[in-house]
């Protein structure tokens, strides 16, 4: 049900698909102006004042047809370039221009001036300050954490970031959380400000903690008042536009917009329209973030929907249109960066995640009308963003699962599905009480969150196969100096068990390096970019009186160690066990050299084929599945006892972001599983590497279920089907059976990628005719034509199932 309004406001998708969004420095200029004027003040107050300066002066507009207002950037479908992550040197600006991004001469001159101010003030510079020369700086250069650091000045890669939104903070994923939006709908910001003023009045400065609390409360008051002022600007603009509008229908819409923005988010919401507008304003001021959770949207909006429907104020068709418009607003929030990051985030990846379904805090099924209407909105506006994740438990109605599977088989890559049994049990192990555990949502790509009670700050990609290759060599040097454990090279081990023990020595060391590396990120983000608004939308914010990075959360998940390429590593270990130590078809030294040479020559190709012929994960084969399970166990046991700088311990994760397997594969080089250096690593944590699943989807989940997923906050699994495989009702019944079977047995996540190879081939030849074709990449979706030719070709090579078989007798 695509409406004329949705069609009209979708015009900017052409800009989005091109990947060449207009670049603006409006926000960077305003932010830097304020920061120059507040030197010497507490950082959190400087952030609040800079935010106020931006929202008071940033260019705003309302496009014809909009009902939910709030432009994320100075231009429609544009992005604001800022240097908070890192500076923008001349070669990075040139690389943007080479790819079609547009800069004026004035913009480039302004950017050079802004760069000068932010030297030594970026997130990267603070992180580099904390990297010691003995451990963390050498570790950062190894390429185990993706991407490898080139220099202390450039960090993960030169170039800042390009985002959308009004928050004064670093623009990527250093605060993956879900705010307590419902508190805004129910109370309004004025009530929060009044509470903060009362707390400030009784806060006496007899300790350092009290001084910090005073600064925090004053910053929150400034930021929340500025947010109200921001909404009032849109109210005034809508009223001004209504006065000169000739179309009576649009004039009335503008008057309604003016009235709504004059009320929310300052006051409690009275209608669904008011709640959704308040939501979008709060979302904008907490962005730029590509990973901000949208919460359990069918739950948080339901009271206002129900009241509106009972009063006859709204129809379901109007509700679907509103949620479709929210999808378009999410699409407008840009994200890009320097060259190193563009390779990792191809396709404009972002992860604004809406959760539906699941249970109530009492354990009842939470399905309601909005659960279905949000899915209808995805059909009416089938864009890659925002993404949708559906929680599934034993009592989830068949009708909701059928609706969700019907949406998934359209090929838009959503919803993905989360198993409540394993996820709730996971939260219980973290000390969360059952009612709160049942109320979890998914934020970012696929991160378990509690609204207002958690925040993830550091979870970069950790290249596990890179560690294996270091262990095969017996150690590694950085800039000519030995670094890390020194063990014997592969050929000097008498048994596979001896080598596996050596590998685990290296893995233990590097997992601990990663946890410490992440703690530096958490600490650096908190020091450089405190977040008054995000902090005030956490539970008990005023009473606690501390920034979101300074306080321990009820579910403290700020530090995740996240290995990728786990199945490549397990399969490599099996190949080493069988070929080097078993039938001794290849020597350890020879194998190491063949990997360095990327399997060159006739002998290299022969050994590579032997490696490929070894057992592969995803075929219900214990010979490799149990090795994979042992790796998961070892990683979890090592990581979950390490201290987290915000309190508690580090969490293990099994999540792969978008296109990161490809740069990860390049850095790692050839691996003993038979992978060539130019090939990607496995796409998702539990997804078989392309072409290695030789049976069907039931065998894939049988392999995945041999892994204890409980300690992991997520364990990602992607299953790929041709369109014909899911074309019948019978196929969807079988798919539902598999979904429920997997979750009952402890599985955490499944998503479905549905496309035909012929479609992808045709899209490469004629992009314009297939501009709406979508593929799923990790925890996000992307327009296929938005990807470059390299990524398109790689996706074409992925294997897929051409039928959905019934459950095997033994399953």
Under the banding of pLDDT at 50, 70 and 90, the label for residue 780 is confident
DSSP E strands, 630-748: 651-652, 718-721
As a whole number of angstroms, the distance between CA 673 and CA 665 comes to 12
State residue 341's pLDDT score: 65
As a whole number of angstroms, the distance between CA 228 and CA 223 comes to 9
State residue 340's pLDDT score: 64
Q: Which residues pair with 163 in a beta bridge?
A: 80, 335
pTM: 0.96
As a whole number of angstroms, the distance between CA 274 and CA 368 comes to 20
For range 666-678, the mean pLDDT: 94
pLDDT in tens, 379-397: 999 999 999 999 999 999 9
For range 776-783, the mean pLDDT: 84
Whether omega before 156 lies within 30 degrees of 0, making that bond cis, reads no
Burial of 204 from C-beta contacts in 10 A (0-12 / 13-18 / 19+)? exposed
For range 226-253, the mean pLDDT: 98
Q: Is the pLDDT of residue 34 over 80?
A: yes
State residue 658's pLDDT score: 62
Please give the C-alpha separations between residue 277 and each of 166, 455, 763, in angstroms, as whole numbers.
16, 24, 37
- Assign 3-class secondary structure to 300-356: HCHHHHHHHHHHCCCCHHHHHHHHHHHHHHHHHCCEEECHHHHHHCCCCCCCCEEEE
Please give the C-alpha separations between residue 466 and each of 377, 387, 637, 663, 677, in angstroms, as whole numbers.
43, 31, 20, 12, 12
Strand ranges of the sheet holding 718-721, from the earlier edge strand across to the other edge: 295-296, 353-357, 387-392, 416-419, 749-754, 718-721
User: Residues 219-243, buried b or exposed e (16+ Cβ, 10 A)?
Assistant: bbbbbbbbbbebbeebbebbbebbe
Under the banding of pLDDT at 50, 70 and 90, the label for residue 661 is confident
pLDDT in tens, 52-101: 999 999 999 999 999 999 999 998 988 888 888 888 888 888 888 887 77
Look up residue 733 and give its two tokens. Answer: 């019944």
pLDDT in tens, 337-352: 766 666 666 666 788 9
Question: Which one, of 58, 62, 80, 47, lies nearest residue 9 by Cα?
Answer: 62
Q: Report DSSP letters for 113-148, one per residue.
A: HHHHHHTTTSHHHHHHHH--TTTHHHHHHTTSBSSP
Residue 80: phi, psi to the nearest 5? -100, 120
pLDDT in tens, 151-161: 666 666 566 77
Q: Is the pLDDT of residue 811 over 60?
A: no
Over pLDDT 90: what percentage of the chain?
Answer: 75
Question: Which one, of 592, 614, 590, 612, lies nearest residue 603 by Cα?
Answer: 590
Q: Is the pLDDT of residue 335 over 60?
A: yes
Half-sphere exposure of residue 761: CA atoms within 13 angstroms, side-chain side: 5
As a whole number of angstroms, the distance between CA 318 and CA 466 comes to 52
Mean residue pLDDT across the chain: 93
Question: Which one, of 656, 647, 634, lies nearest residue 749 by Cα?
Answer: 656
Using the structure block, give the residue that is written with the tokens 């030594």.
120
Burial of 583 from C-beta contacts in 10 A (0-12 / 13-18 / 19+)? exposed
Q: How many CB atoms lie within 10 A of CB 767?
A: 16
State residue 346's pLDDT score: 63
For range 660-672, the mean pLDDT: 86
As a whole number of angstroms, the distance between CA 231 and CA 234 comes to 5
Question: Which one, of 493, 507, 681, 450, lies nearest residue 588 by Cα?
Answer: 493
As a whole number of angstroms, the distance between CA 208 and CA 300 comes to 37
Please give the C-alpha separations between residue 107 and each of 25, 43, 104, 351, 359, in angstroms, as whole numbers.
7, 27, 5, 29, 50
Look up residue 257 and give its two tokens. Answer: 């917009």
pLDDT in tens, 133-192: 899 999 998 989 877 776 666 666 566 777 889 998 876 657 899 999 999 999 999 999
98-103 long-range contacts, CB within 8 A, separation 24+: 99/19, 99/20, 100/18, 100/19, 100/20, 101/20, 101/21, 101/23, 102/20, 102/22, 102/23, 103/23
Rounded CA Rg of the chain:
26
Q: Is the pLDDT of residue 281 over 60?
A: yes
DSSP E strands, 430-559: 441-443, 447-449, 461-463, 476-478, 481-483
Q: Is the pLDDT of residue 807 over 80?
A: yes
Question: Which one, of 518, 465, 780, lies nearest residue 651 by Cα?
Answer: 518
Return the CATH fold of 4-345. Anaerobic Ribonucleotide-triphosphate Reductase Large Chain (3.20.70)
Under a CB-based contact definition with an 8 Å cutoff, are residues 183 and 537 in contact? yes
As a whole number of angstroms, the distance between CA 145 and CA 800 comes to 30
State residue 721's pLDDT score: 96
Under the banding of pLDDT at 50, 70 and 90, the label for residue 306 is very high
Start-end of H helices in 188-247: 189-202, 208-243
Query: Maximum CA pair distance of the chain?
Result: 86
Question: Which one, of 774, 1, 781, 71, lies nearest residue 322 by Cα?
Answer: 1
Say if strands 749-754 and 416-419 run parallel, antiparallel, or are unpaired.
antiparallel
Q: Where are the domains of the chain?
A: 4-345, 461-516+537-715
Q: Is the pLDDT of residue 273 over 60?
A: yes
Using DSSP's 3-state secondary structure scheme, residue 481 falls into strand
Using DSSP's 3-state secondary structure scheme, residue 383 falls into coil
pLDDT in tens, 541-552: 999 999 999 999
State residue 343's pLDDT score: 61
Kindly report the length of the chain.
811
Apex 559 CA angle, 556 and 560, nearest 5? 110
Give the contacts of 758 (CB within 8 A, at least 6 positions apart). Answer: none
Under a CB-based contact definition with an 8 Å cutoff, are residues 23 and 96 in contact? yes
Using the structure block, give the residue that is written with the tokens 């928050």.
167
pLDDT in tens, 475-514: 999 988 899 999 999 999 999 999 999 999 999 999 999 9
State residue 398's pLDDT score: 98
As a whole number of angstroms, the distance between CA 308 and CA 296 comes to 19
For range 355-372, the mean pLDDT: 98
For range 34-39, the mean pLDDT: 96
Look up residue 69 and give its two tokens. Answer: 């207002």
State residue 149's pLDDT score: 73
For range 13-33, the mean pLDDT: 87
Question: Which one, of 699, 673, 677, lies nearest residue 686 by Cα?
Answer: 699
DSSP 365: B
Torsion of CA 492, 497, 500, 502, to 10 degrees: -50
């Amino acid at each position: 049900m695509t409406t004329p309004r949705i069609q009209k406001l979708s015009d900017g998708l052409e800009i989005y698909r091109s990947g060449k969004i207009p670049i603006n420095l409006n926000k960077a200029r305003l932010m830097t102006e304020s920061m120059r004027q507040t030197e010497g003040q507490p950082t959190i107050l400087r952030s609040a004042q800079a935010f106020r300066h931006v929202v008071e002066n940033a260019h705003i507009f309302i496009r014809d047809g909009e009902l939910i207002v709030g432009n994320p950037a100075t231009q429609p479908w544009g992005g604001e370039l800022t240097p908070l992550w890192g500076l923008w040197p001349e070669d990075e600006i040139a690389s943007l221009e080479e790819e079609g991004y547009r800069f004026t001469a004035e913009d480039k001159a302004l950017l050079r001036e802004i760069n000068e101010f932010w030297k030594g003030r970026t997130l990267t510079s603070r992180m580099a300050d904390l990297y010691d020369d003995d451990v963390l700086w050498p570790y950062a250069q190894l390429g185990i954490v993706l991407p490898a650091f080139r220099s202390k000045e450039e960090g993960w890669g030169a170039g800042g970031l390009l985002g959308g939104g009004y928050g004064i903070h670093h623009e990527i994923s250093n605060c993956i959380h879900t705010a307590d939006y419902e508190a805004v709908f129910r109370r309004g910001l004025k009530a929060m400000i009044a509470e903060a003023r009362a707390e400030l009045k009784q806060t006496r400065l007899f300790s350092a903690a009290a001084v910090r609390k005073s600064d925090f409360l004053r910053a929150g008051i400034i930021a929340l008042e500025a947010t109200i002022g921001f909404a009032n600007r849109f109210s005034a603009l809508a009223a001004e536009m209504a006065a000169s509008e000739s179309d009576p229908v649009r004039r009335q819409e503008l008057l309604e917009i003016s009235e709504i923005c004059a009320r929310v988010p300052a006051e409690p919401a009275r209608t669904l329209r008011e709640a959704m507008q308040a939501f979008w304003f709060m979302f904008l001021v907490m962005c730029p973030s590509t990973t901000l959770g949208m919460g359990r949207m069918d739950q948080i909006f339901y009271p206002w929907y129900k009241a509106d429907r009972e009063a006859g104020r709204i129809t379901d068709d109007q509700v679907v249109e509103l949620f479709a418009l929210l999808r378009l607003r999410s699409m407008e929030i840009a994200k890009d960066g320097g060259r190193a990051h563009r390779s990792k985030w191809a396709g404009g990846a972002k992860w604004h995640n809406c959760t539906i379904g699941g249970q109530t805090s009492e354990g009842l099924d939470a399905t309601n009308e909005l659960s279905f209407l949000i899915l209808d909105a995805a059909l009416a506006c089938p864009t890659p963003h925002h993404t949708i994740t559906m929680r599934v438990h034993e009592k989830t109605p068949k009708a909701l699962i059928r609706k969700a599977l019907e949406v998934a088989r359209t090929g838009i890559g959503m919803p993905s599905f989360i198993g409540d049994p394993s996820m709730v049990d996971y939260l219980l192990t973290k000390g969360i009480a059952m009612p709160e555990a049942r109320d979890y949502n998914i934020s970012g790509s696929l991160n378990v969150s509690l609204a207002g009670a958690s925040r993830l700050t550091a979870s970069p990609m950790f290249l596990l196969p890179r560690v294996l290759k270091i262990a095969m060599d017996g150690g590694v040097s950085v800039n000519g100096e030995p670094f890390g454990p020194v063990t014997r090279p592969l050929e000097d081990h008498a048994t596979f068990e001896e080598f596996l023990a050596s590998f685990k020595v290296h893995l233990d060391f590097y997992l601990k390096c990663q946890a410490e590396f992440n703690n530096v990120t958490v600490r650096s983000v908190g020091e450089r970019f405190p977040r008054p608004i995000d902090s005030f939308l956490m539970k008990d914010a005023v009473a606690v009186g501390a920034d979101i990075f300074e306080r321990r959360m009820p579910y403290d998940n700020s530090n995740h160690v996240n290995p990728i390429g786990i199945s490549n590593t397990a399969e490599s270990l099996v190949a080493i066990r069988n070929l080097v130590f078993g039938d001794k078809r290849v020597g350890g030294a020879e194998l190491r050299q063949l990997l360095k040479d990327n399997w060159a020559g006739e002998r290299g190709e022969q050994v590579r084929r032997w490696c490929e012929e070894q057992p592969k994960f995803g075929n219900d084969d214990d010979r490799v599945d149990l090795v994979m399970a042992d790796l998961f166990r070892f990683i979890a046991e090592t990581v979950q006892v390490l201290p987290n700088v915000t309190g508690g311990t580090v969490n293990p994760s099994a999540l792969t972001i978008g296109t990161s397997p490809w740069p990860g594969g390049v850095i790692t080089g050839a691996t003993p599983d038979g992978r060539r250096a130019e090939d990607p690593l496995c796409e998702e944590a539990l997804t078989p590497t392309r072409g290695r699943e030789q049976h069907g989807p039931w065998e894939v989940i049988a392999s995945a279920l041999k892994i204890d997923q409980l300690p992991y906050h997520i364990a990602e699994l992607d299953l790929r089907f041709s369109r014909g495989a899911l074309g019948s009702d019978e196929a969807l019944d079988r798919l539902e059976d598999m979904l429920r079977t997997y979750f009952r047995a402890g599985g955490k996540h499944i998503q479905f990628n549905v496309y035909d190879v012929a479609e992808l081939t045709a899209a490469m030849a004629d992009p314009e005719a297939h501009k709406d074709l979508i593929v799923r990449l990790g925890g996000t979706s992307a327009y296929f034509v938005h990807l470059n030719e390299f990524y398109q070709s790689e996706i074409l090579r992925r294997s897929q199932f051409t039928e959905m078989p019934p459950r095997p007798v033994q399953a």
